[in-house]
Amino acid sequence: MTNVDRGSQHTPDASVAPLLAALSELAETAERVARDLAPEIERALEMVRTAVNQGGTLLFCGNGGSAADAQHIATEYVVRYMRNRRAYPAIALTTDTSLLTAAGNDFGFDHIFSRQIQALGKRGDLLIIHSTSGNSPNVLRAAEAAKEKGIPVLALTKRDGGALRLVADHTIVVPTDRTDRAQEIHLCIQHAICDAIEQAL
């Protein structure tokens, strides 16, 4: 049996290096967000808390990976995250295939979210948009539809926030050019907010 010096530092295989670099980059981005965006995250928490406190529904939307994040977070509110508690009203506007394809076919893909907001949204709700570009026409129309109904808009984006930053009431802009890193941080922020809501209510 070969004796292993447990005090020696492990040198990872070269093929693992990109994986470790990705984790380090994610950690660095998360640290930067925690250091620089605390006020923005606090305001986002207050927007969610206000909607939940007054019985509003959290409306989530996004495209691609951001659609998956929207569905993920809506589920945390309806079912639970870390604690057993009452169900909080939340809907992902990305899940009804019949509705999405009908709206896309009849009105165009740009209207798949706004049409639902026009039908379901009410004062007291909160629209939460995940969009790494901040420029997708369908999320911009969703924000406009929400504003028309008196529904505040919270957006999570990256880089410069895109056009969505000008339409949303509040935007958390993750300082990265990478879509995947932004989505990972968006999800982390959303989990932290959900955890805070569960603890407070």
User: Tens digit of pLDDT for each residue in 115-155?
Assistant: 999 999 999 999 999 999 999 999 999 999 999 999 999 99
Distance CA(143)–CA(152), nearest Å, equals 8
Q: What is the pTM of this model?
A: 0.91
Contact 130, 70 (CB under 8 A): yes
For the record, the structure tokens of 194 come out as 């959900």
Q: What is the pLDDT of residue 200?
A: 84
* ∠ Cα 151 182 110 (to 5°): 45
Which residues touch 62 (CB under 8 Å, ≥6 apart)? Answer: 69, 70, 94, 129, 130, 131, 139
Domains observed in the chain: 27-200 (3.40.50.10490)
Q: What is the pLDDT of residue 8?
A: 57
Nearest C-alpha neighbor of 154 from the set 192, 128, 173, 136: 128
CA distance readout (Å), 196 to 49, 59, 199: 9, 18, 5
Q: What is the pLDDT of residue 132?
A: 97
Q: What is the pLDDT of residue 3?
A: 54
